[in-house]
Amino acid sequence: MENQIRFAWNDIGAPGATVSFDDPGSPKGNKNTAEPETKPKERDIKALQEEAARCFPGSMARSLDWLNREYKLGANKSIEDIYKELRDKVKDVAGTTVEKATAQIRLKDEYADATFGKIVTKVYDPLGFVNRIPGVKERGPDVETLVEWLTREIETEDVELAYFWRKGTDGATTDGAHIVTLVGVYKTKDGKIKVRYRDDDHQGDDAKGDTEVMEAELYLKDDVYRFGSDQSLVWYGASESVPEPATVTLTGLGLAVLALRRRLVRHGRRRPGRGADPLEAVPGRKALPGRDPLRRWNGA
C-alpha cells in the first residue's frame, strides 16, 4: 500500500492542498459506444441540480432517494428535500480533506439512520484516505478489488464513487475532487469495465446540469484505479443498504447480551481471577493519520 500511494503521488503529482473535497466539476463522461458483454443492470436514479461545491450532498441525495423508493422506506421526502437537509448538515464540516470526507460520511450515516431507519453504510478505501468511522463497514484491496466490491454492491445497494484529479485533466482548470452516484457497472466484450453514473457537471446552472447518464472507464494502472483518465484517481467508494431482517434481529440480540453482561459486571458477578470484561475493552483499529490526498506526497 505504501508503494501504491507513493506511485500515485510521484507519477502525477497530488492536487493542491487548498482544494476542498467537495469542489465542483468532473471530467466529462463519454456516451456509451462500447458493446456490453451483458446488458447492464441500471437503477432509476433521479436527476438533481446542485449548487456550486455541493457534489457530496448531491450524490448522497440521489442515492438515498433511490433507496427510499426502491425499498419503500416510507420517508415522505423528495430528492430535493434530502439534498437540502444533507447540504445543511455537512456545510460546517472543517479540517483536512481526509478529515472532512470522513466527517461527511459519518454525518450522512447519522442522517440516513434518523430519516429512513437503520441504514448500513459501507466504504471501500483503496488508498487508506478515509479514517475509520464507528458503525461504518470498511473494505480495501487486502480483501477484494474495487471492481469486485462495486459489482456486488450495485446489485442491491446504492453506490457512490469519489475521485480526485490534477489540473489539466480533460480541460480542468484547477486540481480537485468529485463524487458521483452510480447507475450501473458493466463489462464490455473486450474486457473493459464501464461505470454509468449521474452527477451535476454544471453546478449552479440548472439548465445544463445532470441532463443525462454519463459513463467512464474504470481501470487499473500500476495498481491504482483510474476513473476515465490516467490522472483521475479513485479516492473511495461508498454504499448504503437496508439490513436484512435476520441481521437486525441478531444485532438486537447481541446488544441485549452485551447489556446483560455489563449489568452482571457492575453488580460484581465476575468469576474469581477474571480481569476486566473483554466485551468492554475490545480494541478497535486506530484511525489513520489525516493524510490529505489533495496535498503533495511528502513521504511521511
**Which tens digit of pLDDT belongs to each residue from 52-67?**
999 999 999 999 999 9
What pLDDT was estimated at residue 252? Answer: 46
Query: Does 178 fall in a domain?
Result: yes
Q: How does strand 120-124 pair with strand 137-139?
A: parallel
Domain housing 6: 2-245
Q: Residue 295: inside a domain, yes or no?
A: no
Instruction: Give the pLDDT of residue 175.
Output: 80
Q: Report the CATH number at residue 108.
A: 3.90.70.10
Is 256 a member of any domain? no
Q: Distance of CA 69 to CAs 60, 73, 110, Å?
A: 14, 7, 19
For the entire predicted model, the pTM comes to 0.73
Q: Look at residues 37, 46, 239 and name the one whose alpha carbon lies nearest to residue 156.
A: 239
Residue 281 lies in a domain: no
**Segments of the chain with pLDDT less than 70:** 1-40, 169-170, 244-300
Task: Give the residue from 294, 296, 297 showing the smallest Cα distance to 23.
Answer: 294
- Total structural domains within the chain: 1
